[in-house]
Structure 1
Amino acid sequence: MQLQKLVRNVYPNLTPYTCQLADLPIEDLKKVLNKDKVYKLSFNESPLGPSSKVIEAMQKSLLELNLYPDSTGEELKEEISRMEGIDKSQLLLSNGADDLIVLLAQTFLELEDEVIIPQITFVQYLASTHLMGAKPVFAPMKPDLSIDLKAILERITEKTKLIFLCNPNNPTGTIIPDSEIEAFLQEVPSNVLVIIDEAYHEYADSEEYSSSVKYVDKGFPVFVVRTFSKIYSLAAVRIGYGIGDARVVDAIHHVRPPFNVNAVAQAGALAALRDQEHVEQAIALNQKGKTQLYELFTEVGWKYINTNGNFIFVDMGRDSQEIFDSLAERGIIVRTLTGYGLEHSLRVSIGDEEGIHAFIQAIKEII
């Protein structure tokens, strides 16, 4: 078989997802590290876990596994539209945020279209661009590693089709001030779609931050991506949603598989939205852990960025791989950022109290 004549021309630009140490499930980490206890602070997962109401709803849905799910998730969409103050025609569900990012690329990108992506941000934007044979155009970050909207505007050409913004941004935890976004959108041509990924929206506590959902009704070419993987603790079942102009949503439906969101995920997400007390608990836990890690980094003299997510970007001023390896020896896994050319930095997820304590003690031992 001549594989190279069978695969698409974009094949050389695509890389399968491979699990490095930071990507392995907990049980696999225990085996690899030969540890009975490990702390995974590399995936930005919620340490609180789903609420009891979510578990109950998902267990009930298991009794109907023989039935196909609602293909559009009408009940869940009604709840989201009520909470966000939007029409259901402006909303669609997806198999996690990653699925929606791919669907957006499949819907709008042709060969040689240009996609503007900040230099340091979520890697799925680049992968989806390559998938469609489009051209990624990288915009440099500001000196403080926040997203530079001016640099993005300067890179818009007649070939620009999409712009990806992660707000709050992963892996830096920075936000784009709301005032800057509105001024930016006024400069973006109407034939360019700005995709704003708000995966960490619920964690943002900066007074300058605001969701961009409101810009959809103002007529700006904006599409907002959300997920249940973070604050709602539903990463395992993969469910997200998007909010945009009804015409954009309809266009994506032309590409979307009819049953891309399973019934168990829909039941869990609906129950999660109706348990906002649990969300407040997750925010409080995150805030407590964030304060503890700030204090640690200040004590050891490491530079960190005030975060609006459930993770912290820290610059240690030394080889991050050495710190990573030393932590791994102690059963603690974090995320290096060498793929971005940041050789001295780590992204540390804010875990539960036990995980944070273990991390703090390990850092003090290492240095």
Structure 2
Amino acid sequence: MKRRQVLGGLGVALLTSFSGPSLGQYVLPKGQVRLVFNENPYGPSPKAIAAVNEVVALSAYYPDSPTDFPILDNLKKAIAQRHNLTPEHLLVSSGSNEALQAAILAYGEKGKILVPALTYDAHLGYARQLGFEVVTVPLRNDMQVDLDAMSAQVDDTTSLIYLANPNNPAGIPIDSAALRSFCRKVGNRALVIVDEAYNELTDSPVDQSMVDLVRDEQNVLITRTFSKIFGMAGMRVGYALGQPETITRVNSTLMAWPNGIGLTAAYHSYLDEEFIAFSRQKILEGRAMVYATLQRAGVTPVPSHTNFVFADIGIESTDFVAQMASRNVLIRGGYPGYPTHIRISMGKLEDLNIFDRVFSEVYAASV
């Protein structure tokens, strides 16, 4: 299956003011507090929006001509330069999830895919639908990924190992030294995918990242996304870093088409250091607010290095989430093996003030 070299659709709707209701508007329901998908409501970068407004009329043309439209090459060069790699170490995908699915398609036939029992799993459902074996390893009691237990499961029938760092939904980063050692140890048997969707939000993004292993020619694939700190979830742009032969193999199984608008926004967002700092600060402020809400209710949150907070509320979470939704506040719950845990994404600060009030009222009535 080869990548199609044409644009399949923008995937983005530009909003225009209307005097009344209209079909096809790309808007949230009025009054909804959306704390469910780990989005960043402060994005995209103003510079990205300005750039998109300038080029949206070019949407009639496919963006994959480097002579006429060098945006894909420019984005790859900017990312590669920041990580001291070459563009050959990089692919750009429709969100990082497409890169994850492409890696599964490229490597999964070899054998089992090894993953933590509680982790991001949209691409793992894809693997199961393809008939690939997905083997789960329980987390440690402290909610950390159990690298020793995972290492013990790796053998010649292992095709892939998937690790989200920080893990989702727990929000905890894996110890850097331990993860580097793990990747070096098992990489000679299987490709290790390290999903760094939330890396920019950790306390030490450079130390937490495993990109140095790519420079050291280790058998790893690092995935990143523009959906989180860059606030571009609706534009669907992500990327992966790995050895050139790995990138070539995974790139051959990508199925989405280049998104000229998304690439333009991603390039300008990536270079907008002022927005990145602003976005990070707002997320940290929001996280502190959610901590305070939970702690006042007697709930201890799992320490997070992301734009979401995971917590055991001590009561069945599915009904609690439904009660919150009935008050127009959307959060996550119902995690297999963790029936009393919820996950709250960071919204705008005014949304988190509403969350504080609604959570406090619903929780007090539930315990």
For this structure pair, what is the TM-score category when the shorter chain's length is used for normalisation? 0.7 to 0.9
Q: Deviations over 1:7-50 (max 9, x none)?
A: xxxxxxxxxxxxxxxxxxx98984xxxxx411010011102121
2:56 aligned with 1:62: yes
**Residues 79-90 of structure 1 mapped to structure 2, 5 A cutoff:** 79-90=78-89
Distance 1:182 1:225 in 2: 16
Give the AA of the match of 1:44.
N
Relative distance call for 1:330 and 1:199 in structure 2 (3 A) is: same
Q: Is the 8 A contact 1:332 1:359 kept in 2?
A: yes
Report the CA distance between 1:71 and its aligned residue: 6.6
Aligned residue pairs, count: 335
Equivalent of 2:272 in 270, 275, 293: 275
Q: Quote the residue 1:42 is aligned against.
A: 36
Give the AA of the match of 1:285.
K
TM-score, length of structure 1 as denominator length? 0.87
Report the CA distance between 1:270 and its aligned residue: 0.4
**Residues 75-154 of structure 1 mapped to structure 2, 5 A cutoff:** 75-110=74-109, 113-154=111-152
- For structure 1, which runs of at least 5 residues remain unmatched after alignment? 1-25, 31-35
Q: Quote the residue 2:357 is aligned against.
A: 361
Distance 2:224 2:81 in 1: 15
Report SS of the residue matched to 1:220: coil
Q: Quote the residue 1:218 is aligned against.
A: 216
TM-score, length of structure 2 as denominator length? 0.87
Relative distance call for 1:318 and 1:191 in structure 2 (3 A) is: same
Distance 1:123 1:230 in 2: 17
4+ runs deviating over 6 angstroms: 26-29
Report SS of the residue matched to 1:195: strand
Question: Identity across aligned pairs (percent)?
Answer: 28
2:152 aligned with 1:158: no
2:185 aligned with 1:187: yes
Distance 1:54 1:28 in 2: 19
Equivalent of 1:305 in 288, 302, 309: 302
Distance 2:295 2:65 in 1: 50
Give the AA of the match of 1:120.
L
Distance 1:346 1:60 in 2: 41
Give the AA of the match of 2:41.
P
| C-alpha RMSD of matched pairs (Å) | 2.0
Distance 2:228 2:209 in 1: 16
Q: Quote the residue 1:11 is aligned against.
A: none
Equivalent of 2:344 in 344, 348, 354: 348
Report the CA distance between 1:284 and its aligned residue: 0.5
Q: Deviations over 1:203-255 (max 9, x none)?
A: 11159951010011212211000000111111111000000001101112332
Q: Is the 8 A contact 1:101 1:128 kept in 2?
A: no
Q: Is the 8 A contact 1:330 1:362 kept in 2?
A: yes
Distance 2:43 2:288 in 1: 20
Report the CA distance between 1:351 and its aligned residue: 1.0
Distance 1:245 1:145 in 2: 31
Q: Quote the residue 1:265 is aligned against.
A: 262
